[in-house]
């Protein structure tokens, strides 16, 4: 039985999209059957990151009940080499679609949760996917909370920015705890020298003390990543880059987490 | 002696006990509903809404014990108190009470099929 992983954060710009895409690709490269879904309907970005231009059906259509999930899923296994199975479902980035998604009522959101839960069943049980990754909007958005409720594991991306730390703490206490979600934390954009001097054990203790959840991984701030302007899928195109190794380690850990 | 009692006399004690348990459970469900009705005042009691949507924000604002039950029904789609209890690892009677409470609040629908009562989220009109 596979698992559903939601990647979420309190603030924007913490690296959710890069982390979810990199973990999905890393797991696909380990031979897993992976599906990555963009549930960030306010600022869809996977289509740009993965450089997909022609899309017939979006996740928006599936959640609106216009089409079935098969129409939405796109096989991008070819883009990441031959080993893995890598499917994506993209969110419609047009302003009209963003506006439409932000004006849904509670009844619609309730049905959307139902559709996410049935998507979970059909992809994991019927189609035999090992992983579904949900890339979400930051903060307390309907779509993000729906994703969290439908997930088995929530990976929270956080930086050392003070407002992010405080907000993340609140979110862990008032959101994930209430839904009894298994939650792990990824510290992103850590200054490289800090990461080296603190050492893993020290950071692990610090995270446990501040947030009360396990530390899944620490990603240093890489200038190469900023320099690439979101045009390079590091875990595929730069196999020897430290970022690829770190994300590979985190993916291997995710693979071992029981749900 | 009523005919149903006479019928029972011919059965083994375990079957009689099962029958009693079953009846007690039915009674318990009814009492829970009555308690809820009393709590809200007999006259003024109205369900929150006949179709209150069970969305995530509503789930968040629920008391912990009800959220657990409601989320389990969301996940299972349609379930008996027994099936919910298996997931939450709480007693069947407890789940039965919570489920009935959620029905009264308008978040769940209940449907009887023979001896079993099924609870589900009303997604009427879901495409």
- Quote the number of domains for chain A: 1
Q: Residue B50's domain spans which residues?
A: 3-121
Whether residue B127 lies inside any domain: the answer is no
**Confidence band for B1, pLDDT divided at 50, 70 and 90:** low
Whether the predicted pLDDT of B41 surpasses 80: no
Closest alpha carbon within chain A to B51: A107
HSE-CB at A142 with a 13 A cutoff on CA atoms is 19
Which pLDDT score, from 0 to 100, does residue B3 have?
59
**Cβ-defined contact of A113 to B126 (cutoff 8 Å):** no
Whether residue B44 has pLDDT greater than 50 = no
Q: What are B2-39's pLDDT values in tens digits?
A: 556 666 666 788 888 888 888 888 788 777 767 766 66
Instruction: Please judge whether A179 and B59 are an interchain contact, meaning their C-beta atoms are less than 8 angstroms apart.
Output: yes
Q: How far is CA A150 from CA A117, A118, A240, B41, in A?
A: 6, 9, 35, 37
Q: Which residues of chain A have pLDDT under 50?
A: none
Which structural domain range is residue A142 located in?
A: 3-256
Is B16 part of any domain? yes
Q: Cβ–Cβ contacts within 10 Å for residue B44, how many?
A: 6
Whole-angstrom Cα distance, residue B12 to residue A73?
58
Tens digit of each residue's pLDDT (9 = 90 or more) over A50-93: 989 899 999 999 999 999 999 999 999 988 886 789 999 999 99
Q: How far is A150 from chain B, CA to nearest CA, in Å? A: 8
Return the CATH number at B16.
1.10.10.10
**10 Å Cβ neighbour count for A23?**
28
Q: How far, in Å, CA of B26 to CA of B22, rounded?
A: 6
For residue A151, give the CATH number of its domain: 3.40.50.300
- Averaged pLDDT for residues B113-125: 85
CA quadruple B14, B17, B23, B26: dihedral sign: negative
Q: Residue A89 pairs with which residues in a beta bridge? A: A37
Q: Domain count of chain B?
A: 1
Helix (H) or strand (E) holding A36: strand A33-39
Evaluated on CA atoms A52, A56, A58, A60, the torsion sign reads: positive
Q: Judge whether B31 lies within some domain.
A: yes
pLDDT beyond 60 at B40: no
pLDDT in tens, A10-19: 999 999 999 9
Closest approach of chain B CAs to the CA of A143, in angstroms?
A: 9
């Amino acid at each position: 039985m596979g698992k559903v992983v939601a990647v979420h954060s309190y603030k924007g710009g913490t690296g959710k999209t890069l982390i979810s895409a990199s973990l999905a690709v890393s797991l696909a490269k380990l031979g897993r059957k992976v599906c990555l879904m963009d549930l960030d309907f306010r600022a869809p970005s996977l289509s740009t990151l993965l450089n997909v231009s022609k899309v017939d059906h979006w996740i928006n259509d599936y959640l609106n009940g216009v089409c079935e999930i098969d129409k939405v899923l796109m096989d991008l296994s070819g883009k990441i080499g031959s080993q893995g199975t890598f499917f994506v479902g993209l969110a419609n980035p047009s302003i009209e679609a963003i506006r439409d998604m932000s004006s849904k009522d509670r009844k619609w959101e309730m049905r959307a949760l139902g559709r996410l839960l049935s998507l979970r069943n059909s992809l994991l049980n019927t189609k035999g996917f090992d992983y579904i990754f949900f890339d979400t909007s930051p903060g307390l958005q309907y779509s993000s909370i729906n994703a969290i409720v439908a997930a088995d594991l929530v990976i929270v991306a956080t930086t050392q920015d003070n407002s992010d730390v405080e907000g993340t703490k609140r979110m862990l206490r008032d959101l994930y705890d209430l839904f009894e979600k298994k939650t792990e934390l990824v510290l992103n954009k850590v200054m490289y020298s800090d990461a080296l001097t603190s050492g893993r054990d020290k950071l692990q203790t610090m995270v446990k003390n501040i947030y009360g959840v396990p530390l899944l991984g620490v990603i240093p701030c890489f200038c190469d990543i900023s320099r690439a302007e979101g045009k390079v899928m590091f875990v595929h195109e730069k196999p020897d880059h430290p970022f690829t190794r770190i994300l590979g380690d985190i993916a291997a850990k995710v693979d071992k987490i029981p749900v | 002696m009523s005919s149903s009692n006479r019928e029972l006399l011919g059965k083994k004690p375990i079957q009689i006990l099962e029958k009693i348990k079953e009846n007690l459970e039915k009674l318990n469900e009814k009492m829970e509903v009555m308690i809820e009705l009393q709590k809200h005042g007999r006259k003024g009691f109205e369900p929150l809404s006949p179709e209150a949507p069970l969305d995530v924000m509503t789930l968040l604002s629920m008391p912990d014990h009800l959220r657990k039950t409601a989320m389990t029904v969301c996940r299972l789609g349609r379930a008996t108190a027994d099936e919910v209890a298996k997931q939450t690892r709480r007693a069947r009677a407890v789940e039965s009470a919570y489920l009935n409470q959620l029905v009264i609040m308008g978040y769940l629908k209940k449907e009887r099929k023979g001896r079993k009562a099924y609870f589900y989220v009303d997604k009427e009109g879901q495409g």
